[in-house]
Copies of this chain bind each other. A is one copy, B any other.
Amino acid sequence: MAVSDTVRLGAGVVIHHRDLVNLYGCEIGDETRIGTFVEIQEGARVGARCKISSHSFLCTGVTIEDEVFIGHGVMFTNDLWPRATNDDGSLQGAQDWCLVPTLVCRHASIGSNATILAGVVVGESAVVGAGAVVTADVAPGQVVAGVPARPVTDRRRSLAQAGAMRPPAERLR
């Protein structure tokens, strides 16, 4: 069992495998669904009716508003220059680094394997493409993709590139 007693779970939260997640000190809103192999740290807040997909990591300092989709393997960060030790070789403690908060606004979607640098705001209903590295704020409704993530101007072209128009069987074989 790795859902700590310190977690504040809303009503109707769905956690498929409670023994295959690591949640502690966080707050999860009503009807949110949480996949396997997910870690959510102390102080992170997730809103209502969100979907947090498998293999994702939400750290201290992250706020997820309502109705947000977090894909699989998404990594949030809260320290722009992480180190294991100080210059004198001693282990870093709470006083040795600066927590930088991150905000994902209502109804946004973060694609799988995306990386979110500490300090950004992903605006309401914005979409972050799969595999993107987000290094700057994303405006409300904006679609971004790539490394670093940049606005995608033509949604239809993006869909065509992804091959969504034809079923696989008609193509290669």
Please report which residues of chain A, range 5-58, place their CB below 8 angstroms from some CB of chain B when the two chains form the complex: 16-17, 20, 22, 31, 35-37, 39, 49-51, 54-55, 57
Are A136 and B161 in touch, CB under 8 angstroms?
Answer: yes
A133-160 vs B, Cβ < 8 Å mask (1 yes, 0 no): 1011101100000111000000000110
Which of B129, B131, B137 is the one whose CB lies under 8 Å from A171? B137
The oligomer's copy count stands at 3
A121 proximity list for chain B (CB < 8 A): 163, 168, 171-173
A146 proximity list for chain B (CB < 8 A): 147-148
Interface size on A, residues (CB 8 A): 74
Please report which residues of chain A, range 93-146, place their CB below 8 angstroms from some CB of chain B when the two chains form the complex: 100-103, 105, 107, 109, 111-113, 115, 117-121, 123, 127, 129-131, 133, 135-137, 139-140, 146
Which residue of B has the minimal Cβ distance to A39? Answer: B54
Are A85 and B22 in touch, CB under 8 angstroms?
Answer: no
Are A39 and B55 in touch, CB under 8 angstroms?
Answer: yes
Which of B50, B67, B130 is the one whose CB lies under 8 Å from A77? B130
Are B77 and A111 in touch, CB under 8 angstroms?
Answer: yes
Are B120 and A162 in touch, CB under 8 angstroms?
Answer: yes
Nearest CB of chain B from residue A18's CB, rounded to whole Å: 11
A158 proximity list for chain B (CB < 8 A): 135
The 6 A-B pairs of least Cβ separation, nearest first, read: A131-B133, A115-B131, A119-B163, A75-B112, A69-B84, A67-B85
Identify 14 residue pairs between A and B in the complex whose beta-carbon atoms are under 8 Å apart, listed by A's number.
Answer: A35-B39, A49-B84, A50-B84, A57-B72, A67-B83, A68-B84, A75-B112, A80-B164, A85-B107, A112-B115, A129-B133, A135-B161, A146-B148, A148-B161
